[in-house]
Amino acid sequence: MKMTNRNWMVLYTRSRWEKKVDKLLSDQNIASFCPLVKTNRQWVDRVKMVELPLFNSYLFVNATPTELNKAIQTNGVLTYISHCGKPAVIKDVEIERIREIVNNYTNIETVPWNDINIGDNVEVKDGLLANHRGEIQQIHGRSVLMVIENMNCALTVKIDQKNLTRSAVTTA
């Protein structure tokens, strides 16, 4: 990290504090970027358009090392993301790419990598098919297509990845 230049770095915040921290940093004249996506939320009595952070508990800050230290002391900031013991620097083109995506596309979501791959044997943790095992055939964002082979037929289902866990391969 260059000592006098500003670099884009990533701050890790308290859960659901991304927009608050962005505002607090702005009040301190520290340049920050919290990518927001518009989404519809359903309540019992209405549907409302809300802006939610694209990255949960993360936001970007364009700062010098001194400003980074000041930003870390801001209420709601837990730490900065580091690589090899130094603040991880994000290239300007990557920040611009994120800005462009957020400005030009709808229905954007981040999908966490779950260590589940095509061909893996998994077990369903929750729902109607809890405790059934199967093999991953396709991965579509957060959903997977898997084949369950224990009902004298192959049943193909689409399940949210969060409801799956790797299962040990058992030999009969």
Instruction: Specify the residue for token string 């800005």.
Output: 99
Decide if 109 is inside a domain.
no
Does 151 score more than 60 pLDDT?
no
pLDDT at 168: 62
pLDDT at 153: 59
Q: Do 91 and 49 share a domain, yes or no?
A: yes
Range of weakest confidence among 8-17, 64-73, 96-105, 138-147: 138-147
Domain of residue 159 covers 121-166
Q: Do 43 and 87 share a domain, yes or no?
A: yes
Summarised one tens digit per residue, pLDDT across range 95-147 is 999 999 898 887 777 756 667 788 888 888 777 777 878 888 887 766 777 77
Q: Dihedral (C-alpha) 90, 94, 100, 106: value to the nearest 10 degrees?
A: -80
Confirm whether pTM is higher than 0.85: no
The CATH code of the domain that includes 76 is: 3.30.70.940
Half-sphere exposure of residue 11, counting CA atoms within 13 Å on the CB side? 34
Decide if 115 is inside a domain.
no
Contact in structure between 99 and 8 (CB atoms under 8 Å): no
Decide if 112 is inside a domain.
no
pLDDT at 172: 44
Q: Do 17 and 88 share a domain, yes or no?
A: yes
Q: Do 92 and 148 share a domain, yes or no?
A: no
The CATH code of the domain that includes 140 is: 2.30.30
pLDDT at 171: 45
